[in-house]
A = this chain, B = another copy of it.
Amino acid sequence: MIIITQPSATEAQIDSIVARVHEFGLDAQISRGASRVIIGVIGAEDLVREKPLAAMPGVEAIVPVLKPYRLASYDARGKASAVAVGGIMIGATHDVALICGPCSVESEDQIVSIARKVKKMGAKLLRGGAFKPRTSPYSFQGLREDGLRYLAEARAQTGLPIITEIMDARDLPIVERYADCLQIGTRNMQNFTLLKEVGRSRLPVLLKRGFSATINDLIMSAEYILSEGNPNVLLCERGIRTFETATRYTLDLNAVPLLKSKTHLPVIVDPTHGIGLRDFVPRMSLASLAAGADALLIEVHDSPDLAKSDGEQAITPDTFADLVPRLRAVAQAVGRAL
């Protein structure tokens, strides 16, 4: 950590700052410029990160030097990780995985039918929501345990592992009974209670970036899960909220290579939510792969115009079938397989 003083800081104030640093068990090295003094804090930055040194008289700015996360950092492992989801490896492995399915599980027939189709076309995992976070209390809120059961039935018939969202820590036992991977949705990325809880689960966790979370915030939320003992976290870019309204969100593909340099965790992209307009989901899927995604989360629905949620962004099985060979070609072009 570096402490930059105000031009008006007195020697007594500087002495107090240095004394405070020493109190925390750290060393302070002083460089004197023409107008400001720079105090380099040497030692375990964790000890002072939370301290309100910026509130001390004479301090102009605090510059952290070390990253605020440990377990999630690339350096913690020195290589990229692969996480197994129901036997499918995602991350540091040659294959890129397609995770497909509807936004919501609507019926057993629906989820089984979609699962069969996407499996045949090349999907490796099945997604579908049983607990749905909805902006309006009057919207469809999901089939809850029935939805989980239908997902399990679809898995039984296709062999596809299941990824499904958990919204409430109290639902963990029941979701764990059915799912292969727990999804934390964008609106719960900083629901720290829930993060700690899934951090104690035996299941891997797909953590979606909050639509207004910085890349650093996302990594810190992964750190919550890791710090509770669950090493299997998958990060997911799914679009951020910006001033642009022509698309539902702005898919931030910059995040893909950046996350891969900062953490060892697998990075998934959800182009469906990231643009929110089904006509452009295929293009953004190709771009996501080229950006380095380890897996794609694509919403596929038999009858988007009858879907109970997000119909305007789901693609049909036919569109998906047309997309897969193009995805395969791009995957090969960037040294991966599908």
Contact = CB atoms under 8 A, between A and B. Distances in A.
A200 interface: no
A177 interface: no
A52 B304 contact: yes
A65 interface: yes
A284 B280 contact: no
Contacts of A277: 258
A84 interface: no
Nearest to A52: B311
A9 B34 CA distance: 28
A258 B243 contact: no
Counted per complex, copies of this chain come to 4
A214 B246 contact: yes
Contacts of A116: none
Interface string A29-41: 1011111101010
Nearest to A171: B193
Interface in A56-75: 56-57, 63, 65-66, 68-69, 75
Given A40-B40, A240-B250, A254-B284, 20 more contacts: A33-B40, A36-B65, A36-B66, A38-B65, A54-B311, A55-B311, A68-B135, A69-B136, A134-B192, A137-B227, A168-B193, A211-B212, A240-B244, A251-B252, A257-B280, A258-B277, A261-B280, A284-B291, A329-B333, A329-B334
